[in-house]
């Protein structure tokens, strides 16, 4: 396989003319992401959502914004500092884009803290769940906090006075720190000024207070409040007249020139060391911090006024994410839900027999249990008739059952090959460690292909049956991660179909042997064919409509960014093709524009589970075509990743179309519709019966109360 220079997810492949797409009606990628995060925040504001789940959505919104600054804003600032002035494919210059981002981000942060302070904390307090501020501590709590600080916090703090001998230190990415305004003289007779206290990551940011101390069932106090109240004990003889928390967000993208490194793993390991100290891109600081101190911090981090976010509360909102799990209040959470397990899998029979008798087997997670996928790897590891296992790993989590089973299989003498993606963003370090463990177990580990991330989800088992070799395959839309399988909606398929299993085997051979582009019979593969194939399928619907027939496209994905596909969808709409898109996050297409996209509808559905499935359906004159895929319709997926799309037929096609497409287009409780102005409007039931796609599926597979 030949290699090429990676193209960033927002740019155009070199063979495309930027001028060709300059006049195309495209939204802005970054502003579309911020609109998605605003929809997440809307769930935190929604009284239909259980109270503790609303707190969780607030944390997700904050975490999303952190990553947005670490990657997207950081990259945009590099363009601006590099002197790039030309407009992008959306018509905005980098400076104009940054101005719009700054406006939306500041508004979003204000909404986050207003929601926390004015809505969620008061509602939680009414439920006997309180976050105690310093002003609310009585003498009993003050004494407990003092003792806790002395025993559990002070021993790991290292206060730093700032002077010529103690310059401003390197502050790690997203860490909690305090700047202290001191008065008086230190032990050496010098006038004091500023000091810093960094909170080690080993310290919890929210501390539970015993109920006998605080008087409520679930009482908490922020680490920042404790440190603030006891800061005087760290500076004996001096007067800390001001204590202000702050957090700096840094550029966390990794820059590895893959064509120039002899060892990708070593290059990534070197780059990871520097990740926590990249260029500062945002400063969050306590709202009451004096301007002169804010200016001092700005100078240290080389940030302008637009990059400063004054917050009325903890600077690390996402550290509240664990609180709902610490509180035993089922009445304030989503109703418990047990994924459905098909009866055939309760008999204890061989997973291979099940697949052989009923191929293909489809599973809609998390409504249906992930257990059959786990059983495939477990039984493959222990089955003496299994000769070889091949698997891709992108994100798999700690203590993964897949990893332990692969290691067990290798120790049992089976041939095991794992294609592990070292560059899975923010999982790079974990995947490097995982690769080491797998290699030590005797597993052949391949780091994918230089210049292309391996994002396809494939598991192949080779088994000897009656003197011949039979292949079994799992393909899906989600990662091999048992934890996220309970929170993400994804499709899985188990099959022994000869054409599909042969195609999967060929892709594995290509990944490990770096062979040429493949002539696959069933699968469609990126970076070689998927982009062209999707456009051809859309163009086919366009031709049908122009010839007087009915053209119809329904697609579901996380993000729609690719200009070539958007152009094809616009042409389809102009020809009368009905286009319905279910897009969770970023969408650069503009629906409803006269004479361009009047026949296109875009909805975004959010809820209890993270929508993650990618499904593409084409009417094709009544000979429906449907694919499940690992790929979004983005340039990076089409041109810079190894992805697959897998066709489904007959009953499997009809089932997936209903469960992943049709019912989501009916949602009127947790769906937002994108209008021609690029704004999302939340749908309301009005006179129609309230309908939630996720609740419908919960009821179908396991029952549960309706969320209205």
Q: Which residues are catalytic?
A: 455
Tell me if 580 sits within 8 A of 444, measured CB to CB.
no
Q: Provide the 3-class DSSP secondary structure of residue 672.
A: strand
CB-based contact 588:566 (threshold 8 Å): yes
Identify the H or E element spanning 81: helix 74-81
The DSSP symbol for 452 reads B
Q: What's the DSSP call for residue 210?
A: P
CA gap 229, 337 in Å, rounded? 42
Q: Which of 576, 660, 573 is CA-nearest to residue 616?
A: 660
Which residues make beta-bridge pairs with 181? 194, 242
CA–CA separation, 311 and 308 (whole Å): 10
Tokens at residue 356, please? 């052989």
In terms of Cβ atoms closer than 10 Å to its own Cβ (0-12, 13-18, 19+), residue 676 is middle
Sheet-wide strand order for 218-222: 129-131, 218-222, 206-209
Helix, strand, coil in percent for the chain, rounding step 5: 40, 20, 35
Query: What is d(CA 206, CA 59) in angstroms, rounded to the nearest whole number?
Result: 13
Pairing of the two strands 239-250 and 610-611? unpaired
Strand duo 453-454 + 641-648: pairing: parallel
Give me 513's structure tokens: 């042997």
DSSP-based three-state secondary structure for 89: coil
Q: Which is it for strands 578-583 and 552-557: parallel, antiparallel or unpaired? A: parallel
Tell me if residue 227 falls in helix, strand or coil: helix
Q: Does residue 366 have a cis bond before it (omega within 30 degrees)?
A: yes
Residues 357, 472: contact at Cβ < 8 Å?
A: no
What's the CA gap between 300 and 451, in Å, rounded? 36
């Amino acid at each position: 396989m030949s290699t090429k220079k990676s193209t960033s997810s927002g740019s155009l492949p070199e063979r495309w003319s930027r001028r060709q797409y300059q006049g195309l009606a495209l939204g802005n990628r970054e502003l579309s992401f911020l609109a998605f995060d605003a929809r997440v925040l809307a769930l935190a504001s929604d009284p239909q959502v259980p109270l503790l789940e609303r707190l969780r959505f607030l944390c997700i919104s904050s975490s999303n914004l952190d990553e947005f600054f670490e990657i997207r804003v950081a990259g945009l600032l590099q363009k601006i500092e590099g002197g790039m002035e030309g407009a992008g494919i959306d018509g905005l210059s980098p400076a104009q884009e940054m101005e719009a981002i700054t406006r939306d981000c500041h508004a979003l942060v204000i909404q986050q803290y207003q929601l926390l302070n004015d809505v969620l904390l008061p509602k939680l307090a009414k439920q006997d769940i309180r976050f105690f501020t310093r002003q609310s501590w009585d003498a009993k709590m003050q004494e407990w906090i003092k003792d806790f600080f002395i025993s559990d916090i002070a021993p790991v703090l290292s206060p730093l006075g700032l002077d010529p001998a103690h310059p401003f230190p390197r502050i790690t990415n997203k860490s909690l720190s305090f700047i202290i305004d001191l008065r008086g003289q230190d032990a050496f007779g010098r006038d004091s000024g500023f000091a810093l206290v960094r909170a080690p990551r080993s310290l919890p940011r929210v501390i539970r207070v015993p109920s006998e101390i605080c008087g409520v069932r679930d009482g908490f106090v922020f680490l920042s409040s404790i440190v603030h109240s006891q800061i005087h004990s760290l500076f004996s003889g001096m007067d800390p007249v001001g204590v202000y928390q702050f957090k700096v967000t840094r550029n966390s993208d990794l820059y590895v020139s893959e064509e120039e490194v002899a060892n990708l793993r070593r290059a990534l390991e070197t780059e990871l060391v520097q990740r926590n100290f990249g260029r500062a891109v945002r400063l969050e600081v306590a709202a009451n911090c004096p301007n002169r101190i804010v200016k001092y911090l700005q100078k240290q981090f080389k940030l302008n006024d637009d990059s400063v976010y004054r917050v009325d509360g903890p600077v690390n909102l996402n550290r509240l994410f664990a609180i709902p799990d610490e509180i035993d209040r089922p009445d304030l959470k989503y109703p418990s839900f047990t994924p459905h397990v098909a009866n055939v899998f309760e008999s204890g029979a061989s997973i291979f027999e099940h697949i052989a008798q009923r191929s293909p087997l489809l599973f809609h997670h998390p409504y249906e249990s992930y257990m059959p996928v786990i059983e495939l790897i477990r039984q493959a590891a222990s089955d003496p008739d299994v000769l070889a296992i091949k698997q891709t790993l992108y994100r798999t989590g700690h203590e993964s059952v897949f990893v332990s089973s692969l290691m067990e299989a290798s120790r049992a003498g089976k041939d095991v090959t794992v294609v592990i993606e070292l560059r899975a963003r923010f999982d790079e370090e974990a995947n490097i460690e995982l690769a080491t463990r797998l290699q030590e177990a005797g597993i052949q580990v391949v780091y994918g292909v230089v210049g292309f991330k391996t994002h396809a989800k494939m598991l192949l088992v080779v088994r000897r049956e009656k003197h011949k070799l039979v292949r079994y395959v799992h393909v899906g839309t989600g990662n091999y991660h048992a934890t996220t399988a309970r929170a993400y909606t994804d499709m899985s398929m188990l099959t022994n179909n000869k054409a599909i299993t042969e195609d999967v085997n060929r892709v594995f051979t290509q990944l490990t042997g770096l062979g040429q582009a493949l002539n696959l019979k069933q699968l469609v593969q990126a970076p070689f064919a998927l982009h062209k194939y999707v456009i051809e399928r859309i163009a086919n619907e366009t031709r049908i409509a122009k010839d007087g027939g009915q053209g119809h496209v329904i697609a579901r994905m996380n993000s729609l960014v690719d200009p070539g596909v958007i152009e094809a969808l616009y042409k389809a709409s102009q020809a009368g093709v009905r286009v319905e898109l279910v897009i969770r996050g970023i969408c650069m297409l503009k629906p409803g524009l006269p004479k361009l996209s009047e026949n296109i509808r875009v909805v975004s559905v959010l809820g209890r589970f993270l929508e993650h499935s990618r499904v593409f359906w084409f009417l094709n004159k009544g000979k429906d075509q449907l694919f499940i895929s690992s790929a979004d319709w983005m340039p990076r997926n089409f041109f810079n990743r190894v992805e697959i799309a897998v066709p489904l037929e007959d009953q499997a096609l009809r089932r997936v179309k209903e469960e992943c497409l049709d019912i989501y287009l009916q949602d009127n409780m947790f769906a937002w519709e994108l209008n021609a102005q690029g704004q999302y409007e939340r749908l309301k039931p009005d006179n129609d019966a309230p309908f939630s796609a996720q609740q419908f599926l919960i009821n179908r597979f396991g029952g549960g109360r309706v969320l209205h």
